């Protein structure tokens, strides 16, 4: 079965920042998922460059993607541009965190 972008995003929703009860997709840390054939490339960031889980979160993301049946090469690139901002949090993530709609623009 071919890997899809949605399947990759579903797997990435299993990864959480240990200090925030929202997965990295709904937290807005995943900037791009590119699926070509069986290969998956992800560009993601963290809430801050000084994040204590800076090594663990990308590794967890890579491991989840590699666990997809038929996955080929998986690349997870950590990027800092554009910097993460709370406005990237999804409506579901905002609900979990108790952030009112419209806050942060």
What are the tokens at 27?
């937290």
Residue 101 covered by a domain: no
pLDDT band (50, 70, 90) for residue 71:
confident
Report the alpha-carbon angle 8-90-54, nearest 5.
65
48 occurs within a structural domain: yes
Number of other CB atoms surrounding residue 27 within 10 Å: 24
**Residue 53, in any domain of the structure:** yes
The pLDDT value recorded for residue 104 is: 73
Domain contains 103: no
Q: Which residues contact 86 (CB under 8 A, 6 or more apart)?
A: 28, 99, 103, 104
Give whole-number Cα distances, 93 to 38, 46, 48, 70, in Å. 29, 15, 18, 30
- What CATH number corresponds to the domain at position 77? 3.30.300.130
Q: Return mean pLDDT, the chain.
A: 92
Q: Higher model confidence: residue 73 or residue 51?
A: 73
Would you state the pLDDT for residue 46?
96
Task: Confirm whether 99 is domain-assigned.
Answer: no
**pLDDT class of 1 with cuts at 50, 70, 90:** low
Say if 102 falls within a structural domain: no
Total domains in the fold of the chain: 1
Q: In which domain, by residue range, is 68 found?
A: 5-94
Amino acid 69: pLDDT: 81
pLDDT, position 73: 95
């Amino acid at each position: 079965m071919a890997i899809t972008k949605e399947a990759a995003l579903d797997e990435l929703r299993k990864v959480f920042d240990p200090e925030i009860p929202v997965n990295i997709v709904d937290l807005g840390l995943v900037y791009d998922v590119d699926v070509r054939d069986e290969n998956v490339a992800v560009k993601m960031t963290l809430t801050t460059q000084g994040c204590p889980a800076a090594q663990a979160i990308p590794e967890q993301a890579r491991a989840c993607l590699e666990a997809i049946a038929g996955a080929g090469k998986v690349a997870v690139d950590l990027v800092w541009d554009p910097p993460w901002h709370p406005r990237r949090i999804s409506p579901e993530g905002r609900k979990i965190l108790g952030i009112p709609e419209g806050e942060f623009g």
